[in-house]
Amino acid sequence: MSRIRPADRHSIREAAAILAEGGVVAFPTETVYGLGAVVTLDRAIARVFAVKGRPARNPLIAHVAEVAAARPIVQFDERAERLAAAFWPGPLTLVLPLKVGSIVSPLVTAGLPTLAVRLPAHPVARELLGTLGLPVAAPSANRSGRPSPTQAQHVLADLGDAIDLVLDGGACPLGVESTVIDLSEPGRAVLLRPGGVPRRAVEEVIGPLAERRLEEPVRSPGLLGRHYAPSKPLRLEAREVAPDEALLAFGPVVPKGARRTLNLSPKGDLAEAAAHLFAMLRELDRDDVRAIAVMPIPSTGLGEAINDRLRRAALPPEPAAS
């Protein structure tokens, strides 16, 4: 199994050294655990794709320790400056044009002229990035398509000994991935993925957000079809439940009859629900049930991100290529 270390100063320095030498390390952020590799090292980035079983057309997010670390690799416009000032460090990713001569591996960008970048708020992530002194590409530290990991043990369950080190910083406080805003086209800001910063908060800073056009290239994670999925089928908007189903509940009024029930938030708090979402999906997926029923969840605020993840998780698997 991979080595797992409490995220103290010694283990963070060890993790930084592993990354500098071309290794891959899992570490906590405020959203989910990331699987990191230095953005300039092609072989390390290729290993991240291989470990996750991730399609090469699906770009990665570059994580930086401070805004100044992003300026040599991407072009900031006035909108990006305002969003960075408002929400960094925090769960907001910006897709920006690559600077000419950028040192970022084309594997990170899937060959596109844009890069997704964010400045995480988690103290372990910040210290690791600051100690290393280089941007780190870090998708979620799980097998591609599975529920994202919000605890170090989730990383080990999915990736085992395929990575070099796991920094254990406890449970991720937010529990859903970052919001992704595409600013690569002048005069147009696109919500690519709802996440930890609600849509309304972003729109208060830069105005209305457009929706992604289907013909546009995939410029960030979280845009492919089925994703975040447990092995059991999900049934959404459930108001009643069968005896051979598990129930992912929300709120104080819960239907009875499920083989097992876990409640995202008995008091109906969306922040609490987001923090519990992936861990509870993983827990119910271990049970001997036919399916997982999910109660309705409001789509306001963080609920937009929660429902986005649930809809993608509920899609049927793509048929195998013949």
Whether 158 and 140 have beta carbons less than 8 Å apart is answered as no
Count of other CB atoms within 10 angstroms of residue 256: 8
Calpha distance 41→28 (Å, rounded): 21
Instruction: Using DSSP, state whether 108 is helix, strand or coil.
Output: helix
Average confidence score pLDDT of the chain: 94
CATH assignment of 234-314, given 2.60.120.620, 3.40.50.11030, 3.40.50.300, 3.40.50.1000?
3.40.50.11030
100 or 22: whose pLDDT is higher?
22
Query: pLDDT band for position 321 (50/70/90)?
Result: very low
List the one residue out of 99, 79, 86 whose CA is nearest residue 208.
Answer: 79
Residue-level pLDDT at 241: 98
Q: Is the pLDDT of residue 215 over 70?
A: no
For a pLDDT cut of 90, what percent of the chain falls above it? 87
181-192 average pLDDT score: 95
Query: pLDDT band for position 223 (50/70/90)?
Result: low
Query: pLDDT band for position 322 (50/70/90)?
Result: very low
Instruction: Using DSSP, state whether 202 is helix, strand or coil.
Output: helix
| Whether the domain at 3-211 and the domain at 234-314 fall into the same CATH topology | no
Instruction: Using DSSP, state whether 36 is helix, strand or coil.
Output: strand
Residue-level pLDDT at 219: 76
Whether 279 and 153 have beta carbons less than 8 Å apart is answered as no
Residue 304 DSSP class: H
Residue-level pLDDT at 43: 97
One DSSP character per residue, 204-228 reads HHH-PPEEPPTTS---STT-SSS-S
Q: Is the pLDDT of residue 273 over 80?
A: yes
104-117 average pLDDT score: 95
Domain 3-211, classified CATH 1.20.1420.30, yes or no = no
Residue-level pLDDT at 101: 87
Q: Are strands 165-168 and 25-28 parallel, antiparallel or unpaired?
A: parallel
Domain boundaries, given as residue ranges, for the chain: 3-211, 234-314
Count of other CB atoms within 10 angstroms of residue 232: 18
Residue-level pLDDT at 191: 96
Residue-level pLDDT at 287: 85
pTM value surpassing 0.85: yes
Residue-level pLDDT at 90: 98
Alpha helices in 9-41 (DSSP H): 9-20
55 or 320: whose pLDDT is higher?
55
Q: Is the pLDDT of residue 94 over 80?
A: yes
> What does the pLDDT look like over 124-161, one tens digit per residue?
999 999 999 999 999 999 999 899 999 999 999 999 99
- Matching residue, tokens 């416009």: 77
Residue-level pLDDT at 107: 96
